[in-house]
Amino acid sequence: MITVKNLSKRFGETVAVNNVSFEVSKGEILGFLGPNGAGKTTTMKIITCYLPPDKGSVQIGDLNIQDHSLEIRKKIGYLPENTPLYMDMGVVDYILFIAELRQIPKSKRIQKMREMVEICSLEREIKKNIGELSKGYRQRVGLAQTLIHDPEILILDEPTSGLDPNQIIEIRELIKKISREKTIIISTHILPEVTATCNRAIIIHNGKLVADGTTEELADKSRGRTVYYVKLKGPRDQVQSRLQELISVESARLVSGANGDVSRFEIIAQKGKDPCEDIYNLSVKNGWIMTELSQERASLENVFRELTSG
């Protein structure tokens, strides 16, 4: 659905986007991650034909942004970080105004407006001016203008920025509801949004793409090993030594515990190995009591910090 190849953009001496390439499949929800100033918004503006690239190409289906800008804009619903609203307009008037701008036939505008009010749960607010709405409901009106022409692709730049926890959950559920038939790119630096909403994530840092994959794939690329924790009751030094000798274990580090009592160890597995069965068999063979055996993967937050902290 979307193919970005070798995309670059400069503003004076600042390189905002540096040779970025990625693809987004039809029906996918892609989280576009990065710290402030990483190049997320610039990339989105290029995809939506708001800015031209200095180098590279963007293909939307069979269309490229250089030759088919107007056709591409009809396929995209774009919600910028600063939602483009007219505060003195009523909710209904604004949605009908956007329907006219999107060249929806006059006979269908009322029906489309009602659909947007229902989808975005604006029923209680339709008699108000936009300036009277809470920020959460303004975001809903912004999503209504993004969706009204039934685009194939949604580009959402920081859609939950500045919202309170309840509003974030509401917008998140709304995005899930509308995602069933859309391809969506969500730009954010709020990591729980990605794990809760997206199929896949891209991390961009200083204009460069530094990671691309599911949360699990990013964890594997970042740490390369899975961490296990085990609590065993037995002679501490002997337990640690025997754990270290297991073929599936790269290292065994004592976390807590006194000699002869229950000790807790951090186990780094060999890449591609699962040491759980080996650890269990070792404990049975030596008569050690096991009170814990757990697995911990790198969180998206850990991956993000590792890849964007210099």
- The predicted-structure confidence for 89-132, as pLDDT tens digits, reads as follows 999 999 999 999 999 999 999 999 999 999 888 999 999 999 99
Please report, as a single letter, which amino acid is at residue 184: I
Query: How deeply is 285 buried, as exposed, middle or buried, from its count of CB atoms within 10 A (0-12, 13-18, 19+)?
Result: exposed
Using DSSP, state whether 296 is helix, strand or coil: strand
The secondary structure of 49-105 as a DSSP string is TSS--SEEEEEETTEETTT-HHHHHHHEEEE-SS----TTSBHHHHHHHHHHHTT--
Q: At which residue do the structure tokens 């599911």 appear? A: 214
pLDDT attached to residue 259 = 62
Whose CA is closest to 288, among 245, 248, 230? 230
Strand 183-188 with 200-205, pairing: unpaired
Cα dihedral sign for 216, 222, 224, 225? negative
pLDDT attached to residue 196 = 80
pTM for this prediction: 0.75
pLDDT attached to residue 57 = 94
pLDDT in tens, 3-61: 999 999 999 999 999 999 999 998 899 999 988 888 999 999 999 999 999 999 999 99
Q: Which two tokens stand for residue 84?
A: 């483009």
Residue 258: is its pLDDT beyond 70?
no
Using DSSP, state whether 241 is helix, strand or coil: helix
Q: At which residue do the structure tokens 């088919």 appear? A: 68
Return phi, psi of residue 269, to 5°.
Answer: -80, 150
pLDDT attached to residue 56 = 95
Whose CA is closest to 15, among 204, 202, 207, 203? 207
pLDDT attached to residue 225 = 60
pLDDT attached to residue 105 = 95
3-state SS, 106-145, equals HHHHHHHHHHHHHHCCCHHHCCCEHHHCCHHHHHHHHHHH
CA distance 228 to 216: 16
pLDDT attached to residue 83 = 84
Strand 262-269 with 227-233, pairing: antiparallel
Residue 238: is its pLDDT beyond 80?
yes
Q: Are 247 and 278 within 8 A, CB to CB? A: yes
Domains of the chain, first to last: 2-213 (3.40.50.300), 225-297 (3.30.70.3190)
